[in-house]
Amino acid sequence: MPSRLFTRLIALCTLIVMAPVAQAAPPVAPAAIAAALADPARSTDNRALDAGRQPAAMLAFSQLRRGDVVADWGAGGGYYSELLARAVGPRGLVYGIGIDAGYKPQVWQPLLDRHDNLRAMFVPAASQVFGANSLDVIFSHLEYHDLYWSSEKYHYPVRDVDAVLRNWFAALRPGGRVIVIDHAASGGDPRETADKYHRIDPARVRADFAKAGFVLAAESTLLQNKDDPHTVGVFDPAVRGHTDRFAMRFVKPR
């Protein structure tokens, strides 16, 4: 069997996820989510983020099922990837998706060693393409706005957002879900708000997904913060960690 390093090197050429079809399974129980959060192997840094991110509620909002195949879009340091891997169980599979230049082996290797159902897929943006009917869930935490952001320094190219969402729609099985959690902006051109503030207008997200054929199934206000003025960047000390955020669950019709 090829090593995980070899698997990752193959993935750097192109990311075409062709996962096995998951069988119908029960929803992830609250106790399973609680166990994932209580895992003593989780890093101190990740645990410190829990209060602001409310992961138990966000994972419940996602309506995960045991055995789901999940793409954690913009996985960063794997904060949600490891929680998702625990939640979907050994018959599930989680792909941590990221830009190749952002891969940190010292962060990811311990996660991969602990979770046999987790794969790190850090590849160039042009290769972040999923195979048809290969996924049950796409989970995007604080990353959707980056589809509108470009940076030569951080290797984020200008993207065709419509094309990305067409691929997501094709990749999801009927009834599949997309979870979007992001920093709220108050209108404006999405590329300008992404570049200046790393935020996005919730109305833009709804419109993007409707255009792609998705149905908005639910929204959560749990992470809202009415004291966030939307006029500062999300890394500003005044709001960092407690920005005004929205959460949406979209569904591909059956």
Please count the residues of the chain: 254
In angstroms, the CA 65 to CA 234 distance is 32
The 3-state DSSP class for residue 219 equals strand
pLDDT tens per residue across span 235-254: 999 999 999 999 999 999 99
* pTM for the structure as a whole: 0.91
pLDDT tens per residue across all 254 residues of the chain: 334 433 443 343 345 454 444 456 789 999 999 999 999 999 999 999 999 999 999 999 999 999 999 999 999 999 999 999 999 999 999 999 999 999 999 999 999 999 999 999 999 999 999 999 999 999 999 999 999 999 999 999 999 999 999 999 999 999 999 999 999 999 999 999 999 999 999 999 999 999 999 999 999 999 999 999 999 999 999 999 999 999 999 999 99
pLDDT tens per residue across span 159-213: 999 999 999 999 999 999 999 999 999 999 999 999 999 999 999 999 999 999 9
CB-based contacts of 160, cutoff 8 Å, min separation 6: none
- For residue 245, the cross-strand partners are 183
Record the tokens describing residue 117, joined without a space.
């159902």
Quick one: 173 exposed, middle or buried, by C-beta within 10 A (0-12, 13-18, 19+)?
middle
Architecture of domain 4-251: 3-Layer(aba) Sandwich (3.40)
Which residue ranges make up each domain of the chain? Answer: 4-251
CA proximity to 28, closest of 62, 54, 51? 62
Q: CB of 199 within 8 A of CB of 182?
A: yes
Q: What is the DSSP letter of 151?
A: B
